[in-house]
Chain A
Amino acid sequence: MSDVTAAATGTAPTLRIEGLHKSFGDLEVLRGIDLVVAPHEVVCLIGSSGSGKSTLLRCVNLLEPIDAGRICIGDREITDPKVDVDRVRRGIGIVFQAYNLFPHMSVLDNVTLAPRKVLKTPRDRAEAEPTRLLERFGLADKRNEVPDRLSGGQQQRVAIVRALAMQPELLLLDEVTSALDPELVGEVLSVIRELAASGMTMVIATHEMRFAREIADRVCFLDAGLILEEGPPEVLFEDPREPRTRQFLQRVTAARRL
């Protein structure tokens, strides 16, 4: 279905994953993932913990070596061993569940480190775009603070700005609200909403079903290392085809009611 979307727009998909396998020791975490993400598309990955969502995102960022399959960004295969991984990663932003900000640097140094050191942009120019983003996400007054002095929601927004500072063509979000207090979830989600509206291509692993339903162009349900079912959110959430999907969604709704 998504191949059709990409073909119809006439451009190469931003991300194409074919037959991706990944094991940790004896445990096969990904068992043949196929996924195509078109430019400006927002894809949400849902599924229970351990279904492989995070591993999939880490593989796309080449943080985990894969066992079999291919991953392409545009028309370039990034899993080719000859590829320069540092160069590939510049184009793919990832935001982690635990923020992983650098605690020994100010917010501004966190978000400008990669442009300054990787792209060798002089500091004043490197600061322009991130400063604008910090302002846009309500963090202008935090630019000289160290991350430990920020709330979880603020830290996660800084982490998003840090990933955006390299102007990636693809942004991966790995359960970015799971470590947050409930009242801080909203501020991070609204940042992601803004990014989606501005046309950012994103793959989002999430447990926030309502948010996935609202923001996703397409939702993929991962189960035991396979994309069991995918489709537009209204279909997948309203009328899932697979019994496993239905079961998962029922469990999530039941948990929410508690």
Chain B
Amino acid sequence: MDDPVGGGPASGSPAPSRASERPASAAQRRVAWRPLVIAAVSTVVFFVLLGLVIVNAPGWPEVKSSFFNGKVFADSWPLIVAAFVVNIQIFVIAELLVLPSALVVAVLRSTPGPVFLPIRILATAYVDIFRAVPGILVIFILGFGVPALGLPGLPTDPRFYGILSLVLIYSAYVSEVYRAGIDSVHPSQGAAARSLGLSHLQALRFVVLPQAVRRVIPPLLNDFIGLQKDSVLVSFIGVVEIFRQSQIRQSATFNFTPYMATALIFIVITIPLARLVDWLVARDRRRNAAGAR
């Protein structure tokens, strides 16, 4: 409105902020620092107090030597890291297989028309069953049951059955994530595509799914965090991976520190993924806010 800087319409938007900045700047700087200082002080005080309570607990010396033993940690660390490579193999292969297979299940569940009812029933039954049965049972049943059939040509490697189980369990979960994404795309998008002569599958492939998948990436990565942790369940059918290895170290040393090392590794690999999810969610929210204008 008033233009004291005299920059004219070209500098229209910065002018008012510059004008308001000058008198308020000192006060604003004070105000901006205060919450930071308060946050820092309260955080330090809280954690120092918590630490003091733990360290002064009557059982602390024993807990310290059996859970936070530096020597055991150093001895076990290389073995545990090496065993983690097996977990990485298992969950990376499983994740790469879950992405397409879950999408197929989601698409099958959303096929239209009465002809495809049997397909919808099958897909729904699959999702219901594999979400209902505890993962460890699926791994036991497939890992011990299928090889026991003794059919020629079936793999005997327990890692195969471990990966198969994880893919079956997580495809059921992730297909629901995809389906929510498909349902979140407004039906008018599909109608617009169909009105141009695209078939149901073409409309899904070129119009609905690209929008749906973009929206579900954060919850999908969230399920992958779960899958990575569940890779330790494969140890129960005889795969020596990180959890089994830390168990072996624990029995050898009578010390729980190997478990702490394992926990640390999972924390280290999960935090970047968790922050990535946060960042994607925040970016989507910004994008939606911009789109709503």
On whether the beta carbons of A118 and B202 are closer than 8 Å, the reply is yes
Q: Mark A39-52, 1 if CB is under 8 A from B, else 0.
A: 00000000000000
Name A113-159 residues within 8 Å CB distance of B. Answer: 113-114, 117-118, 148
A117-B202, A118-B202 known; A102-B195 Cβ under 8 A: no
- Closest A residue, CB atoms, query B213: A104
**In this assembly, does A195 line the interface, its C-beta being within 8 Å of a C-beta of chain B?**
no
On whether the beta carbons of A118 and B197 are closer than 8 Å, the reply is yes
A89: chain B residues within 8 A (beta carbon): 194-197
Question: Which has the most chain A C-beta neighbours within 10 Å: B197, B198, B199, B207?
Answer: B197
CA A166 to CA B193, docked complex, whole Å: 12
On whether the beta carbons of B199 and A86 are closer than 8 Å, the reply is yes
- Closest B residue, CB atoms, query A111: B196
On whether the beta carbons of A96 and B188 are closer than 8 Å, the reply is yes
On whether the beta carbons of A63 and B194 are closer than 8 Å, the reply is yes
On whether the beta carbons of B188 and A100 are closer than 8 Å, the reply is yes
Interface footprint category on B? 10 to 19
B207: chain A residues within 8 A (beta carbon): 102, 113
B290: chain A residues within 8 A (beta carbon): 148
On whether the beta carbons of A90 and B197 are closer than 8 Å, the reply is yes
On whether the beta carbons of A96 and B192 are closer than 8 Å, the reply is yes
Q: Is the interface of B mostly helix, strand, loop or mixed?
A: helix
**In this assembly, does A94 line the interface, its C-beta being within 8 Å of a C-beta of chain B?**
yes
CA A117 to CA B198, docked complex, whole Å: 7
Indicate which residue in B194, B197, B211 contacts A166 across the interface (CB closer than 8 Å).
B197
**In this assembly, does A210 line the interface, its C-beta being within 8 Å of a C-beta of chain B?**
no
**In this assembly, does A206 line the interface, its C-beta being within 8 Å of a C-beta of chain B?**
no
CA A163 to CA B192, docked complex, whole Å: 9
On whether the beta carbons of B192 and A118 are closer than 8 Å, the reply is no
On whether the beta carbons of B189 and A102 are closer than 8 Å, the reply is yes
Between A and B, 18 residue pairs with Cβ closer than 8 Å are A63-B194, A86-B199, A89-B195, A89-B197, A93-B195, A96-B188, A96-B191, A100-B191, A102-B193, A103-B211, A104-B210, A104-B214, A113-B193, A114-B196, A118-B198, A148-B290, A148-B291, A163-B196
